[in-house]
Structure 1
Amino acid sequence: MEYKILTLDESIPLWKRIQMIFPDEPDWESLEEEVLVKLVEDFDNEQSCATTAIIYMSTKNPSQCQRLAKWLLEHEDSDQWLKSAAKRAIEYCEEQ
C-alpha cells in the first residue's frame, strides 16, 4: 500500500492548517482576528477549532464575536459544544 505524505506548507491558509493538525493546537492568543473568524465560519470541517476560536474572538473583537456567536446559535449544524461556547462568548462580551 502506498501512503501519501501531507505537507503543511505555506500555500495552505493558516486557518486550514490549524484544522488539519487538530487536536494539536496553535498559540491561540497570537492568531490574528481574520484567522479566528475563518475558523468559526468554516466550523463544519472542525467544530472543535471553531469552539476555541469563538472564545478567543471575544477578547479580540467583541462586536464581531457577538455577530458570529449569534450566527452559530441559529445554525442548525453547529453542535451543542459549539453552541455552548457561543453562549459563553456572548456573555463574556456583554460583561466587557
Structure 2
Amino acid sequence: MGEVWKAHDQETREAVAVKLSPQRDAEEAARFERETQILAGMAHPHVVRYVAHGACADGMPYLGGDRGERGGRRGDGVRRADDPGPLARR
C-alpha cells in the first residue's frame, strides 16, 4: 500500500496526485511496479491519467497521476464499494 499526496508538477504546473510506496519486501515492490506499468498504458475516463514514476531522493518509489480535475466528475457512474446500489435501496 502507500500514501497519496496532493502536489504540483514542477514542469507543467498541473495539479497531480503522488503515491508514495514504502516497500517492505519484494512482493510489494513487484506489485507497485505492475501498478505503475498498468497505469502508464491505460487511458480511461474513470482512471487517473499517468504522469510519471520514479524514486524520491531517499529511494522511496513514487507514482504520479492527475487529480481528475478535468471538469465533470471522474466518478460519474461509479459507486463506492460499500454502496449496494439503487436496487438494494428499494
Q: Same fold (TM over 0.5)?
A: no
Q: TM-score, normalised by structure 1?
A: 0.29
From the two aligned structures, give the one with the greater helix fraction. Answer: 1
From the two aligned structures, give the one with the greater strand fraction. Answer: 2
Q: TM-score, normalised by structure 2?
A: 0.31
Structure with bigger gyration radius: 2
